[in-house]
Chain A
Amino acid sequence: MIGGLFIYNHKGEVLISRVYRDDIGRNAVDAFRVNVIHARQQVRSPVTNIARTSFFHVKRSNIWLAAVTKQNVNAAMVFEFLYKMCDVMTAYFGKISEENIKNNFVLIYELLDEILDFGYPQNSETGALKTFITQQGIKGQHQTKEEQSQITSQVTGQIGWRREGIKYRRNELFLDVLESVNLLMSPQGQVLSAHVSGRVVMKSYLSGMPECKFGMNDKIVIDKQGKGGTTDEPGKSGKQSIAIDDCTFHQCVRLSKFDSERSISFIPPDGEYELMRYRTTKDIILPFRVIPLVREVGRTKLEVKVVIKSNFKPSLLAQKIEVRIPTPLNTSGVQVICMKGKAKYKASENAIVWKIKRMAGMKESQISAEIELLPTNDKKKWARPPISMKFQVPFAPSGLKVRYLKVFESKLNYSDHDVIKWVRYIGRSGIYETRC
């Protein structure tokens, strides 16, 4: 298991060092600094083996988190734990920065003591942790016995993510369907790969221990219902459904039930959390098409023309559109003309950045640029990185629709109808690239 956990700043100075196992010595702290942090570019793997000691590292802004071990540990678990550690720290004190870590080092040690025992990760749900590890450090002393056992049963319990006795005057929940659509397109307009990775994020403000059931237009479920025989609405059963390639759920979802019945039922954590992630590859609505045209005029000039076409209902508006057109390293000057929005050549980023605030569906816009090049004797050709695009649209490119979210709480006197529910769809660009 994990033998030790170190946190460094960008210079390699150690900010936190917690050793869990006897086989990890202080020299491991230095080994990582010398061989990984100071080696900069040369380390080309997140797992490094130095003198039979393995180091796993992740970086958050300028901060290095490293887990150390001498055993054959579960590598996936170690990384998952490091990410979790970052989440927990963020939940406690915000951004992970050198200053914040130094300011909260006592708290971090306390957390590390709690969530990692002898190198074995323990309950690391912030909801549960916050009930007994607080920044003030005063809780835990003036609690009644009931409170204490409530804490321990929550930390170890089956529903470790939710505490008992939550009350709201207004029972409310918000569902956000957040999708990022990824595309790789050839210069000729052929889709090389496209997929949507989506998340359903839920904010729940519900009293008691509510039992929830979530439904969406999952093809498998709808086909099953269609077969079920109740053909009272034949017109509607042909309604659009989507094929989900794969999905993963928050640990509150009963996986065995999903596996057998494909129904998503759970007792939600309080507040904001990610209910599920999913991936689809079929019938994706690609909100934009990018048509590039690059022409080399002699050795010192490039002509670039890029057309973007929006491909969704005209009544909808896409926002925060940004097209990034890479330019060669030896660019000396750029002249841009665009019909809409603003475009600028950013020499430091080697790109022309074209921004459009809003654009309705079924429209097109165009930019053309002349790029002057300095003559070089470099034989190496310019690699032509792809043109990338950013945007945000108010629908789900996968076609996913929330059908229902039912809430049952038998002990308290509110019913599904009393819960106020909000659903919102946001589609964003993931890696949305067109080669040129």
Chain B
Amino acid sequence: MTDSKYFTTTKKGEIFELKAELNSDKKEKKKEAVKKVIASMTVGKDVSALFPDVVNCMQTDNLELKKLVYLYLMNYAKSQPDMAIMAVNTFVKDCEDLNPLIRALAVRTMGCIRVDKITEYLCEPLRKCLKDEDPYVRKTAAVCVAKLHDINAQLVEDQGFLDTLKDLISDSNPMVVANAVAALSEIAESHPNSNLLDLNPQTINKLLTALNECTEWGQIFILDCLASYLPRDDRESQSICERVTPRLSHANSAVVLSAVKVLMKFMEMLPKDLDYYGTLLKKLAPPLVTLLSAEPELQYVALRNINLIVQKRPEILKHEMKVFFVKYNDPIYVKLEKLDIMIRLASQANIAQVLAELKEYATEVDVDFVRKAVRAIGRCAIKVEQSAERCVSTLLDLIQTKVNYVVQEAIVVIKDIFRKYPNKYESVIATLCENLDSLDEPEARAAMIWIVGEYAERIDNADELLESFLEGFHDESTQVQLQLLTAIVKLFLKKPTETQELVQQVLSLATQDSDNPDLRDRGYIYWRLLSTDPVAAKEVVLAEKPLISEETDLIEPTLLEELICHIGTLASVYHKPPSAFVEGSRGVQHKRLPPRAGSGESTESPDVGQSGPSEAPPAVIPSQGDLLGDLLNLDLAPPTATVPSVQPSMQMGAMDLLGGGLDSLLGGDIGGSPSVTAMPASLGSAPAVGGGLGDLFDLGGGVGMPTGSYVAPKTVWLLAMKAKGLEISGTFARRGGIIQMDLSLTNKAMSVMTDFAIQFNRNSFGLAPAGPLQVLTPLSPNQTIDVSLPLSTSGPVMKMEPLNNLQVAVKNNIDVFYFSCQYPLSLLFVEDGKMDRQVFLATWKDIPNDNEAQFQIKDIHLNSDVASNKLQGSNIFTIAKRTVEGQDMLYQSVKLTNGIWVLAEMRIQTEPFLLSDLKCTEPRIVYANLLHSQ
């Protein structure tokens, strides 16, 4: 059989010829023709013009031909929806065929044809197939429900397929169970709160039974599903672990990794003093090591996961250092990962071996690998204090090899060692100095200069050395120039008599002959310091430096916990939360480890499946679970203008909006339409209100600000000292329906800043930059630039505490900086927020009282009209006004960007008081801020 000939026809008029062949009477010719069509399709030629002719071949007894036609249909049905209908009859007929293989084939293919009209016809056959007597058909039908859900979720719910699917979990055939679990898990991902999987001890038991019997793939589906279950207590946790551990001996690495995931997760719940806990720990090591004898690609996946496991539970693999030794023939990606793990496992006990290995690696060919190995030696020195001396001598040996990049890398790490252990290893400086000439990389040159400056008093010819650098001062990179300037000043402070000339030379080079403002400024500062107060200069320049920490490369704990829940998946390979690389609502949920056993304060929400972080995010931004990943994603995915589907995430957002006791708030209603359902609201403290409800009235009170929403003055969000010289102040405004973030960026550092970019963490209302941060010119020192960044509300949603908190990352050429700020909620009031009077009345009545909040706003001297005007400027619309007992009552409505309505009754009492009585579809949190904004 030589089908390859089908790939070679590239004649003109080919389509025409094929058409004739497809309509041929001879079966063989027909089949040949269809094969040619499929071959063309594969290489990317457009053969959609042949649609009717190919579909005509569908009615055939020949199974092979039928499959080919189906393949064609799946590819082109979407582009020819009307014609695809022609195929429906055959499908329906095939679903009734006596041969179960044909029934399954029909239902499988039908689910792949993403044409709305066809899906209607699919329902009946699918229903039958879900209850087919043959397990092969049932297992295919189970997956088909997931396909249909992907096309039309509503239809699947309406037709009750989800319940049928749930029933299949109890099916007698293990493969049907596995596929049903896979389908349900996938559907559940897009309904975070639906509790679709409904895992309870009974279903878990069924799954564990099926686990022993189904295919390797089915075992993976089931284990992945099990991992999302939260056992009730440690006993249940232990019994599940006991039934999962046998999987660790499976030949399929994915089964093993998924089992490891379940165990790592459920182990959290076991008390540490339990015997079983220790047993389990011991059982985990061998299978993990065995993964390293798999094919290289799987080794890579395993190593990325082991990297996480080692950080979470170092005890598991602490005795297994040797298996991570790099083999000469390992692919480079395996080598680099092994190196990382070696450093993590390095301890006093094994450091000698590790060092010997690292030294060996430093002589290999791959430059990246060698550099990393040399850095690793430095990290060992910093991590294991007892080894520092051996590390230093190893580094010295490496320097003797004279391999250029090895020497340079070694000098950079030795600098770090000096900083960690000051005044200990300075004896090696002489050796370092010998290699001065070979250093051509700025980082290495700067490191060397730093060393000379720092230890100038012990280096006899320090002045000569530095002077030699000074010759080519203008050709050096900024990093080196700055370092050289500082080093010479240090030298001068230490040996003032001999080096006066040198310091003057460098100061004049830096201040007079240099174009670099950064350098110039530093030069001036030193100059002035030295000339006015040498004692102060000494204190500043020779100040004691903070020690550097040992573990700077650990993954931040909350992110690590989330990643542990994703063992085996892509997230664990990228070391990023799924939200960083998955679009839309899928995978946005944050998974967490179950609460630690024994710790009484399990504040986390008990349901892992739907846990939006319920705690208030701490003030320090990076500790926010996924944030780091999100922000680091900065370069990877610039904020796009494309609007992701808002519906599902919206629901989550709305749920989150309320936190605490208000969870049930949004119940069923989802989506873009204004949700006017009434909800219970508890009137606790009003966190977001703060003290300043009246602030805005005050501000508005004095001067007439007739229209346009209120814009708060800029406040400083990011202090220069925390952000390497970048100061950011800003405010928010809504102009002509567009939300804008006004920023002032000030460069208080010495060097020019460029390459600005901005990104937001997920927030309560899905605020996201609608475009890139437009800083076109580099920001020179002491310059300030004002930028207006338009924002959209289509970003991912996550409830923040307080609600209007926004976490921002700004990147420039120097670093990434994080800060958080709060936006006025009035930002989110849309222009079409004026509710119809009748609707208003009806809605007002429908909202229960407990959804109501009252506020007094004092010291505001406004009459009702002025207040009404003022509020209108911020899109708070007055629907009606009424005077009762001499008091003006205003009835107002506000609509938020996410479609939530807020209704208000405002009573203007005696002059100094403004009493506001709010009823809203949303609780007071929103409203409190609403008043803020006026």
Contacts and interface: CB of A to CB of B under 8 A. Distances in A.
Interface of A: 1, 13-17, 19-23, 26, 29, 44-47, 49, 52, 54, 56-58, 69-77, 79-83, 99, 102-106, 109-110, 113, 117-118, 120-125, 132, 135, 137-138, 140-141, 143, 145, 148-149, 151-153, 155-158, 160, 184, 186, 192-193, 195, 197, 245-251, 254-256, 258-259, 274, 276-277, 279, 379-381, 383-386, 388, 431, 433, 435
Q: Which 8 A-B pairs have the closest CB atoms?
A: A246-B286, A137-B64, A102-B4, A152-B136, A76-B254, A255-B246, A259-B246, A77-B254
A279 B240 CA distance: 27
A140 B251 contact: no
A76 B322 contact: no
A151 B101 contact: yes
Given A122-B217, A246-B289, A104 B3 contact: yes
A120 B249 contact: no
Given A117-B143, A152-B136, A247 B249 contact: yes
Interface string B246-281: 110111111011100000000000000000000000
A104 B186 contact: no
A122 B568 CA distance: 19
26 contacts: A14-B42, A23-B583, A56-B297, A69-B570, A72-B581, A74-B224, A74-B257, A77-B568, A99-B4, A104-B1, A120-B179, A122-B215, A123-B215, A124-B217, A125-B215, A141-B62, A141-B63, A151-B136, A155-B175, A156-B136, A193-B323, A246-B287, A247-B249, A248-B256, A256-B243, A380-B403
Interface stretch (B571-579, B734-742, B834-842, B870-878): B571-579
A108 to B, nearest CB: 10
A373 B566 CA distance: 53
Interface in B145-194: 146-147, 150, 173-176, 179, 182, 186
Question: Which residue, B62, B289, B298, B568, has most C-beta atoms of chain A within 10 A?
Answer: B298
Given A72-B569, A251-B216, A259-B249, A153 B322 contact: no
Interface string B1-35: 11110110000000000000000000000000001
Interface stretch (B358-366, B411-419, B537-545): B358-366
Nearest to A276: B251
A243 B636 CA distance: 48
Interface residues on B, range: 35 or more
Contact of B249 (A82, A197, A255): A255
Nearest to B208: A256
B929 to A, nearest CB: 34
A286 to B, nearest CB: 15
Interface string B183-213: 0001000000000000000000000000011
B35 A106 contact: yes
A132 B300 CA distance: 36
Nearest to A21: B150
A118 B216 CA distance: 17
Contacts of A109: 38, 67-68, 71
Contact of A45 (B216, B300, B327): B300
Contacts of B139: 122, 156
B114 interface: yes
Contacts of A250: 251
A13 B43 contact: yes
Contacts of B112: 20, 118
Contacts of A102: 3-4, 7
B916 to A, nearest CB: 46
A20 B140 CA distance: 14
A79 B569 contact: no
Contacts of A137: 62-64
A74 B68 contact: no
A123 B247 CA distance: 18
Contact of A58 (B297, B357, B573): B297
Contacts of A149: 100, 134
Contacts of A138: 64
Interface stretch (B328-336, B820-828, B858-866): B328-336
Given A79-B254, A256-B246, 20 more contacts: A17-B44, A23-B583, A29-B44, A54-B570, A56-B297, A71-B586, A75-B568, A75-B573, A76-B256, A76-B298, A79-B253, A81-B217, A104-B3, A109-B71, A110-B67, A137-B62, A152-B136, A184-B325, A246-B286, A381-B402
A44 B332 contact: yes
A21 B146 CA distance: 11
B606 interface: no
B125 interface: no
Nearest to B63: A140
Given A45-B300, A152-B100, A16 B42 contact: yes
A303 to B, nearest CB: 20
A149 B578 CA distance: 42
B654 interface: no
B404 A379 contact: yes
Contacts of B256: 76, 248
B333 A46 contact: yes
A106 B68 contact: yes
B251 A431 contact: no
B571 A15 contact: no
A58 B137 CA distance: 32
Contact of B217 (A57, A58, A121): A121
Nearest to A433: B328
Contacts of B252: 80, 251
Contacts of A80: 216, 252-254, 298
A248 B253 CA distance: 9
